[in-house]
Amino acid sequence: MVRVLGIIGAGKLGVAIGRAAADAGWQVLFYDTAPAESVHAAVASASPDAQLVTLPELAETAEIVVIAVPFAASRELDLSLLNGKVVLDPTNYWPAVDGPMPELDRRHGSTSAQLAYRNPRMRLVKSLNHLSYHDFTSDARSSGITPRRAIAVASDDRGAQELVAQLVNDIGFDPVLVPFDRAGLLEPDGPVFGHWLDSGGMHQALRTASDPQLN
C-alpha cells in the first residue's frame, strides 16, 4: 500500500522533504497559499507524481501532514482541519524571518508546544527540523548501511511517533524516539541542531543536555 504524505508549503523545506519521501515510495500531496501557477514547478521538482491539492483534501487524504511553512505563517493556517491527524512539525523560529514573537522570545517551550496549544487535538510530532535542506539528499543512507545519521522524533503520542519514525527510516535516517518535552532541544541553539550524529550520539546529546528553552 502506498503511503500518503501531505505537505503544507511548497518552499525549499517542503520540496526537500517531498522529494525525499517520493524517492522512498510515498505519494506526496502539497498545499500552498501562493497562486497555483507559481508553485506547480516547485511541486513537480519534488516528484513528477506529486499533486497540488486544497488544504481540506490534503487533511482528508494524508497519513502524515507536514507543516513546512515559516513558523509565523503557520498562524494563518486553519489548524482545526487537522483534528486527529498525525502532524509533523519541522519548523524553527527565526526572528529575522518570522518577526517578533513574544511567546517564543520568552522561550516558553518549542514551536511545537505553541502549535499544540493552538490545537491540542492534533497528534503532533517534532522532527526533521535539525537538518538543512541539502542534508535530506547528501546524508540519506539505506537501512543497514552504517554510519547512518539520526533524526530525533519527539512526541508523547506513540502511534504518531512510530508513523513518523517509519517515514524517517524510509527517507534514509535512523529515528531516535524522544518525549515531546525534549522538542526544544532539537531547535536552534540546541545540542543536535545542524550536527551529524548517529543514533548513539543523538541519545547521548539529548540525555545530557538541558533544554535552552527552559533556561
- Determine the pLDDT at residue 212: 46
Task: Give 100-109 pLDDT, tens digit per residue.
Answer: 666 655 445 6
In SS3 terms, 72-135 reads as HHHHHCCHHHHCCCEEEECCCCCHHHHCCCHHHHCCCCCHHHHHHHHCCCCEEEEECCCCCCCH
Over range 136-157, report the average pLDDT: 96
In SS3 terms, the chain reads as CCCEEEEECCCHHHHHHHHHHHHCCCEEEEECCCCHHHHHHHHHHHCCCCEECCHHHHHHHCCEEEECCCHHHHHHCCHHHHCCCEEEECCCCCHHHHCCCHHHHCCCCCHHHHHHHHCCCCEEEEECCCCCCCHHHHCCCCCCCCCCCEEEEECCCHHHHHHHHHHHHHCCCEEEEECHHHHHHHCCCCCCCCCCCCHHHHHHHHHHCCCHHHC
Confidence of residue 97 (pLDDT cuts 50, 70, 90): low
- Among 136-145, 160-169, 180-189, 204-213, whose mean pLDDT is lowest? 204-213
pLDDT at 95 over 70: no
- Determine the pLDDT at residue 214: 40
Task: Give 45-72 pLDDT, tens digit per residue.
Answer: 999 999 999 999 999 999 999 999 998 8
Q: Does the reported pTM lie above 0.85?
A: yes
User: pLDDT higher for 98 or 41?
Assistant: 41
Q: What is the mean pLDDT of the chain?
A: 90
- Determine the pLDDT at residue 104: 59
Q: How far apart are CA 119 and CA 85, in angstroms?
A: 11
- The CATH number assigned to the domain with range 4-214 reads 3.40.50.720
